[in-house]
Structure formats: structure tokens, C-alpha cells
Amino acid sequence: MRAGGAICRDLCSACHKPAGTGIANLFPDLASSGAVESREPTTLLRVVLRGAQSVSTSGAPTSPAMPALGWQLDDAEIAAVITYVRNSWGHAAAAVSERNVRNAGARLAARSD
């Protein structure tokens, strides 16, 4: 939790805020996110490893994006930060292991998209 908290403060809190509340209509609220509360960490693993981008619209032509962190963090660091997020702000979820991260990375690498 200590390592994950440090990574979250350094890489995530500018957008998702230290309290995990995000910024309305811009960056997701992790503190009340269904993906964070999910039994399976699959969505969080995909987003942290590959990033995500919202669609642009005529009213909001510049869509917000979450950068991929898979190139920047190793499996242990990714496991730590996801475990931290899944166990902060009132959440209580199973820890994410390095093996979970490695397996998710392999599944993503096998995709053709």
C-alpha cells in the first residue's frame, strides 16, 4: 500500500485528485468507480497498461485521455498502484499481483487492435 500510494500521488493524483474524486466531466472519480470496486481488476489493468481515451464530440473536440503506464512502470509497480486504488477511499478489494499484471499484459499483447 505504501509503494502504491507513492505511485498514485506521483502519477495519478493530478487528474484523479488525492481523494480519488477526479474532475467532473473530465477525469473519472475513482472513489466511487464501479471498475475500482469490481471483483476482477481486468478493467483497471487494461487502462493502466494501455491507457484510455474518451471520444471527442462537436461540443468537446478535445477528449481527455489516460496515458498508458505499461511502458513506464514495471509489473510490481502496476500491481502496487492498482492494489492501492482498489483499497483506498472506502474500497476493500483483493490485492493485484505481479502475475495478474503479467497475464493481463500478455493478453493485451496478443490482441490485434
Q: What is the mean pLDDT of the chain?
A: 94
Q: Which pLDDT belongs to residue 57?
A: 84
Taking only the tens place, the pLDDT of each residue in 81-103 is 999 999 999 999 999 999 999 99
Q: What distance in Å separates the CA atoms of residue 28 and residue 34, rounded to the nearest whole number?
A: 11
Alpha helices in 1-113 (DSSP H): 2-7, 13-16, 34-37, 42-50, 75-86, 98-110
For residue 109, how many C-alpha atoms fall within 13 Å in the half-sphere facing its CB?
Answer: 8
For residue 86, how many C-alpha atoms fall within 13 Å in the half-sphere facing its CB?
Answer: 22
Comparison of pLDDT for 6 and 112, the residue scoring more: 6
pTM of the model: 0.91
Q: Which pLDDT belongs to residue 54?
A: 85
Q: How confident is the model at residue 60 (pLDDT cuts 50, 70, 90)?
A: confident
Q: Which pLDDT belongs to residue 15?
A: 95
Q: Which three cell numbers stand for residue 20?
A: 480519488
Q: Which pLDDT belongs to residue 113?
A: 78
